[in-house]
Amino acid sequence: MLKAVLKTIALLIILFVMLYVGMNNPQLIDFHFPVAGTTALEPIRASAALIYFGIFAVGVLAGTILAVGGKTGARDGDGKKSSKGK
């Protein structure tokens, strides 16, 4: 249970940082990312906080997919395959 509480506190700290960045960066910026190809000719013009949040969200989703995507089958808490229901 302590692990879940610590993860929740860490998530709240991250969300506070996102809120703080959003409050202090309302100005528009040009976002260039030529590797993707879409911003090579015309950059995305948006709030700095919105672009920061978008990049952060993509990173969180990618990390979640990498962390969860490779696991197959039901497992117990100690990592062994579960034999429940058989």
The angle subtended at Cα 85 by Cα 80 and Cα 86, nearest 5°, is 80
pLDDT interval class at 37 (50, 70, 90): confident
In tens, the pLDDT along 46-83 reads 888 888 888 888 888 888 888 787 666 555 566 666 55
Three-class secondary structure of residue 40 per DSSP:
coil
Per-residue model confidence (pLDDT) at position 6: 86
Nearest to 43 by CA among 51, 34, 52: 34
d(CA 48, CA 20): 12
User: Which whole number is the average pLDDT over 20-24?
Assistant: 79
